[in-house]
Amino acid sequence: MQDTTRSKLKLAFLLLIAFVPITMATFAYRSAMENGGFGATVNKGNFILPPADITDLAMTDADGNAMFRSFEEIIAEIANDDDYVAQPWLMVYLTGTDCDVSCRDRIHLLRQMHITLGKNQPRVRRYYLNATGEQLPQETAGYFREEYPSMGIAHGSRELILRNFSEQGISLDLENNSYVFFVDPVGNVMMYYEPRHTIEEIKSDLQRLLSLSSLG
């Protein structure tokens, strides 16, 4: 076996070991919730089972270039497992409309929640995903640069995102709602939150996932 092939297999195996607790916990939570074992205090958000891939969010930069690749594509280019750089968890705010007052309030609360993660703060990165089909208005873009310089800005195809998640059995209403998605360090889109979910509920789930994960 060639050294590069052996190294890639080793990397994939190590990452699999690290990811298994997250996956097993996810299924355990869902099973317990369905059977009333945990009550209403464990997970607050909606699980995506099986998880979607980060490429299903179709995140691009302002020039239309893809911002993320699948985990398989990434490890295919790594010759040595020592070259792998652990990625952070992503918290993606997805909207299909202009960022109004409620949107700005939500983004502010997500930023404040991120700060309260303390030592785990560097393990999470926030993104705003604009799926309006248009560039951000200059006023909005300027507001984000000034108020949220650490928040990544991405653009996405509304039609593609809706189709990808429809294939996962998830119906999104981007005309009337915005959503928050959790993406794990290997690119699995595993949970999402609707406007009805509070920031406290989102934080509770995120802290639990971070405590279970040895990645990111």
pLDDT digits (tens, 9 = 90+) for 170-198: 999 999 999 999 999 989 999 999 999 99
Domain ranges, residue 109: 3-212
pLDDT digits (tens, 9 = 90+) for 2-37: 554 444 444 554 555 455 545 544 544 444 444 444
CB count within 10 Å of CB 132 equals 16
Radius of gyration of the chain (CA): 18
pLDDT-above-90 percentage for the chain: 66
Report the pLDDT value the prediction gives residue 78, as an integer from 0 to 100.
77
CATH of the domain at 173: 3.40.30.10
Supply the mean pLDDT for the chain. Answer: 84
Question: How many structural domains are present in the chain?
Answer: 1
pLDDT digits (tens, 9 = 90+) for 135-168: 999 999 999 999 999 999 999 999 999 999 999 8
Closest CA to 207 of 126, 121, 128, 148: 121
- Say if residues 107 and 194 touch (Cβ distance below 8 Å): no
Say how far apart CA 75 and CA 60 lie, in whole Å: 21
Asked if the model's pLDDT at residue 38 lies above 50, the reply is no
Q: Are strands 124-130 and 152-155 parallel, antiparallel or unpaired?
A: parallel
Asked if the model's pLDDT at residue 74 lies above 60, the reply is yes
pLDDT-above-70 percentage for the chain: 79
Residue 205: phi, psi to the nearest 5? Answer: -65, -40
